[in-house]
């Protein structure tokens, strides 16, 4: 969204707020500035690298204290909603939506969402998810076979996921000794789970960034 300005009244004070993005360079690196009016006027600068690795990328105000980021290929909608925290002068991820467009009139498409009760306690900052280091945003993925869940010390638990389960990928790490690749995931089932799985067992990422593909 380089060279674009989006406006709105994010704090409902009757004064226009704005997101202004500079013109992109040849490699699509640029910066966006978020201006918020009010008693405490704020100015946040966001560094965007390679158009945030998105075929389509945009930012806009949606309602009071909320900013939406869209990122992904044209047929997939990844919607990231960040809520403004005035006390920390920061935007934190509060909701994620995934929509796969239907291929035909008989196909209803695919939908997946994670709400604020899960995401807000994680305090994922907009400026960590999008920065000059690249795209670190969450992604939806599918489990491709029976996959055991590991705790935060990478000890195997008795819990497992099955083929076709949808998970939200929160983080990615690679063991420096064994080179084994891990995803920290959130699974929404009868019991909410935030733990680790073998990254090789997750496929069809909605946002296949360099970070999540371990090519950074």
pLDDT per residue, tens digit, the chain (216 aa), is 555 678 887 877 788 889 998 876 666 899 999 998 876 678 899 999 999 999 889 999 998 889 999 998 878 999 999 999 988 889 999 999 999 876 644 444 588 999 999 999 999 999 999 999 999 999 999 999 999 999 998 899 999 999 999 999 999 999 888 889 999 999 998 889 999 999 999 999 999 999 999 975
In contact, 30 and 19? CB cutoff 8 Å? no
What ranges do the domains of the chain cover?
A: 5-135, 139-203
Integer angstrom CA distances of residue 51 from 2, 132, 169: 8, 11, 21
**Angle at CA 34, nearest 5°, toward 31 and 65?**
140
Measured CA to CA, the distance from residue 84 to residue 42 in angstroms comes to 11
CATH no., domain 139-203: 2.30.30
pTM: predicted TM-score of the whole model, two decimal places: 0.91
SS3 content of the chain, % helix, strand, coil (to 5): 10, 50, 40
């Amino acid at each position: 969204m380089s060279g674009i300005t989006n406006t709105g009244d994010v704090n409902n004070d009757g004064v226009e707020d704005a997101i202004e993005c500079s013109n992109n360079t040849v490699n699509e690196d640029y910066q966006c500035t978020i201006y918020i009016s009010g008693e405490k006027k704020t100015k946040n600068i966001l560094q965007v690298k390679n158009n945030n690795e998105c075929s389509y990328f945009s930012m806009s105000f949606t309602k009071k204290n909320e900013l939406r980021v869209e990122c992904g290929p044209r047929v997939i909608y990844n919607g990231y909603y960040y809520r403004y925290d005035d006390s920390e002068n920061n935007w934190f991820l509060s909701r994620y939506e995934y929509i796969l467009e239907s291929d035909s009139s008989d196909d209803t498409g695919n939908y997946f969402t994670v709400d604020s009760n899960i995401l807000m306690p994680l305090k994922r900052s907009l400026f960590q998810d999008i920065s000059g280091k690249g795209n670190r945003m969450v992604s939806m993925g599918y489990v491709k076979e029976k996959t055991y869940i590991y705790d935060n010390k990478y000890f195997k638990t008795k819990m497992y996921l099955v083929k076709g389960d949808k998970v939200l990928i929160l983080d990615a790490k690679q063991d420096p000794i064994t080179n084994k690749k891990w995803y920290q995931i959130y699974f929404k089932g009868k019991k909410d789970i935030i733990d680790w799985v073998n990254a090789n067992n997750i496929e069809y990422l909605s946002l296949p960034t360099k970070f999540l593909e371990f090519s950074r």
